[in-house]
Amino acid sequence: MKNFLKNVLYIVIFGIVAGIVVEKYATSEHERIKVKEKDVQKQKINKENEILIRRLEEDYQVYKDSIDQVFIEKRKQFIAERGEPPEGNKLAMDMRDKAEKNRILAKKRREIDRQIEDLKMRLDF
């Protein structure tokens, strides 16, 4: 009977130790898998961001081209209505149009840069 109780005690102790070891292993595996999943998620978001940033840059280029066209049409319309301006006025008009175009494009560039920054912040999780 004494050996039986001794064996039962050994089995109980072995079971407790084995349970602790299994729990530690399961916890470490869970953490390892979680880190890998997070890395995969970051890579996925990064690829999506690259595509979205490329599209934003393309949209900006299209916007820039359309602004150029608007100012060209505006110039043509002015010349058609009033004729060619004198040289001094022509230079002033060019500078004014360029300043206005740059202001419009700078505003759009700031918007795009903010959107790009927001996309990059998605990776900080």
Alpha carbons 24 and 22: distance in angstroms, whole number:
6
pLDDT for 125 equals: 58
- Whether residue 56 has pLDDT greater than 90: yes
The rounded mean pLDDT for the chain is 89
| Mean pLDDT of the 14-23 span | 89
- Whether residue 43 has pLDDT greater than 80: yes
- Whether residue 52 has pLDDT greater than 80: yes
Calculate what percentage of the chain has a pLDDT beyond 70: 98
Alpha carbons 80 and 54: distance in angstroms, whole number:
39
pLDDT for 110 equals: 96
| Mean pLDDT of the 24-46 span | 92
> Could you tell me the end-to-end alpha-carbon distance of the chain, in angstroms, rounded to an integer?
60
The per-residue pLDDT for range 83-106, each reduced to its tens digit, is: 887 887 888 888 999 999 999 999
